[in-house]
C-alpha cells in the first residue's frame, strides 16, 4: 500500500518547506496525475524502501468574504477526505493559535491517524518545545525543523507505522 500523507496547517507554519524536503531528489511533482484536486501539490516521498504520496494543501490563502477561519475548516475537511494519514504542522516558536485549534477540532473528529509536527525548533530541546502542544489532543507531538531536516525521519516513521 502506498499511503497518501496530507500536510495541513495554517499559513506560514512550514508545510511547503516540509513538502519540499520530503519530496527532494525525486521527481517531485505529479501535478498532471488525472483526477487530483487543483489547489494541491502532490509529490512522491520515500523512507527506506517505503514509498508514499505527499500532499501540500497549499495553505488557506485569501478567500473572499467567507473569512479565513471558515476557509481553513473547509480545506481541512477536504484534505482529511483524501488522506490516509495527516501531518498537522504547527509553529513551535509561536505556540498554539486560534487557527490551530480550529484545525485540531476537525482532525479530532476524523478517523484518520494524525501526527502533530512542531516545526521551526532547530537546535531546541524536544521535550520543552512539544510540551504545550499536547493540549491539542492529538497525541504525542514530534519536534521537527523542516528547513534543517531535524526530526523529519522520526515524523515520517511515526506516520507510516500506521500502515
Interface with ligand GDP (CB under 6 A): 9, 11-17, 59, 119-120, 122, 145-148
Please identify which residue in the block is written with the cell numbers 496530507. Answer: 6
Q: Could you give the strand order of the β-sheet that contains 41-47, starting from the edge strand earlier in sequence?
A: 41-47, 50-56, 4-8, 85-91, 114-119, 142-143
Which residues contribute to the site for Mg ion (CB under 5 A)?
Answer: 15-16, 59
Give 45 or 59: the residue with its C-beta nearer to Mg ion. 59
Annotated binding site for GTP: 9-16, 56-60, 119-122
User: Among ligand GDP, Mg ion, none, what does residue 45 contact (CB within 5–8 Å per kind)?
Assistant: none
Give 59 or 141: the residue with its C-beta nearer to ligand GDP. 59
The Cα-based distances of 67 to 42, 64, 105 in angstroms read 26, 7, 18
Give 16 or 110: the residue with its C-beta nearer to ligand GDP. 16
How near is the Cβ of 122 to ligand GDP at its closest, in Å? 6
Q: Cα torsion at 88, 93, 96, 98 (round to 10°)?
A: -100
Amino acid at each position: 500500500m502506498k499511503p497518501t500523507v496530507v500536510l495541513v496547517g495554517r499559513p506560514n507554519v512550514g508545510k511547503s518547506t516540509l513538502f519540499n524536503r520530503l519530496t527532494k531528489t525525486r521527481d517531485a511533482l505529479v501535478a498532471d496525475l488525472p483526477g487530483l484536486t487543483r489547489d494541491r501539490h502532490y509529490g512522491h516521498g520515500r523512507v527506506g524502501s517505503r514509498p508514499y504520496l505527499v500532499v501540500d494543501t497549499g495553505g488557506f490563502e485569501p478567500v473572499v468574504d467567507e473569512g479565513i477561519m471558515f476557509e481553513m475548516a473547509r480545506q481541512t475537511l477536504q484534505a482529511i477526505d483524501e488522506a490516509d494519514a495527516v501531518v498537522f504542522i504547527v509553529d513551535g516558536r509561536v505556540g498554539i493559535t486560534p487557527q490551530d485549534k480550529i484545525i485540531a477540532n476537525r482532525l479530532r473528529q476524523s478517523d484518520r491517524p494524525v501526527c502533530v509536527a512542531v516545526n521551526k525548533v532547530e537546535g531546541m530541546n524536544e521535550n520543552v518545545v512539544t510540551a504545550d502542544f499536547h493540549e491539542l489532543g492529538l497525541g504525542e507531538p514530534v519536534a521537527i525543523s523542516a528547513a534543517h531536516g531535524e526530526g523529519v525521519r522520526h515524523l515520517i516513521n511515526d506516520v507510516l507505522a500506521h500502515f
